[in-house]
Chain A
Amino acid sequence: MELLSIFTGLCIIVSLIVNRQKTWGGIKKGAVMFLKLLPTLILMLALVSVVLFLLPEKTLVKYMGEESGIAGWVIAALFGSVALIPGFIAYPLCGILIKSGVTYSIIAVFITTLMMTGFLTLPLEAKFFGWRVSVIRNLVSLAAALLIGLIMGFFL
């Protein structure tokens, strides 16, 4: 975070020195884009926080635990696709899940879908790339996640 602020600051300063007008134009463009996106973002974050409330850690462990079998996979993929958890929370959570008996292949499915597919972020993605492209991207990612789960199952 600090790194990004410093980097942005440096970029602005260098850009200001080279060409003041262009810099203001760029900043304005960025700000307008951000403000246009803000309502969609808030909507998305609100949805995510409700989903996260409805499905707390304990429930996850229960449904993805040792004896869950195929159902565990499906739930891991579903939850991973819907949820939107930042990495620094997701990895510790996965650590807990492993310790409480969830297999590595299920974790792999969970974490890959968590990172690559986002059904709740679809409206946002579609705003940029259109619905067709966004849905295809998400489905391909889902397939990749299941595949990696299978591979993990073989090796670990």
Chain B
Amino acid sequence: MKEVKKYIFPFVFLILIGLSYLFDFAAGEKISLNFWMFFKEMILFLPLMFILIGLFDVWVPREKIEKHIGKESGWRGTGLVILLATLQAGPLYGAFPFAYLLWKKGCSIRNVFIYLGAFSTIKIPMLTFEIGFLGLKFSLLRYSHHFTHFYFDRIYS
């Protein structure tokens, strides 16, 4: 029953979209276009992401995670999570499950936060876009800011 309940809202949303098309309701059509754009991105990207997470879960033992990015891992561990995060692509909500898995497997909570922070802000694949539209100076300033931010995170948490 609980499983069914979770689908009530998405179902209502779909019905509303259907109705707006039926009655030529412009707002509804615009919203559904937005929705479709996001949905397409998600439905292509997330299943792959979750397969990788599942594989990661069965292959990488807890001790390894604890040793490299756990509580006692120090600066090297922090550097490692930042590197891991910057090389990935995709929206932030794709990073939550992976960060959660790292956490469950013994990554220190500080490193989990730094991972999420780095994932959302300093992704290398997005850098080209940023420089293109906002200029190199903007990007450099932003990157240096985030690195200092991580540095203080590391020291004070």
114-157 of chain B: CB within 8 A of chain A: 116-117, 120-121, 123, 126, 129-130, 132-134, 137-138, 141-142, 145-146, 149
- Least CB distance from A93 to B in Å reads 9
A49 touches B38 (CB 8 A): yes
Does more than half of chain A's interface fall in helix, strand or loop, or is it mixed? helix
B100 touches A95 (CB 8 A): no
Measured in the bound complex, the distance between the Cα atoms of B48 and A11 in whole Å is: 11
A1 touches B45 (CB 8 A): yes
- Identify A33's interface contact among B34, B39, B53, CB under 8 A: B53
9-61 of chain A: CB within 8 A of chain B: 11-12, 15, 22-23, 25-31, 33-34, 37, 39-46, 48-50, 52-53
Asked whether A42 and B13 contact (CB < 8 A) given A48-B34, A49-B38, the answer is yes
User: Is A63 part of the binding interface, using a Cβ–Cβ cutoff of 8 Å?
Assistant: no
- Least CB distance from A63 to B in Å reads 20
B52 touches A30 (CB 8 A): yes
Nearest residue, chain A, Cβ from B16? A46
B54 touches A31 (CB 8 A): yes
- Identify B34's interface contact among A4, A7, A52, A94, CB under 8 A: A52
Measured in the bound complex, the distance between the Cα atoms of B10 and A42 in whole Å is: 6
Measured in the bound complex, the distance between the Cα atoms of B134 and A52 in whole Å is: 22
Which of A49, A98, A121: most chain B CB closer than 10 A?
Answer: A49
User: Is B27 part of the binding interface, using a Cβ–Cβ cutoff of 8 Å?
Assistant: yes
Interface residues of B (CB under 8 A from A): 6-7, 9-10, 13, 27, 30-32, 34-35, 37-39, 41-42, 44-59, 89-93, 96-97, 99-100, 103, 109, 113, 116-117, 120-121, 123, 126, 129-130, 132-134, 137-138, 141-142, 145-146, 149
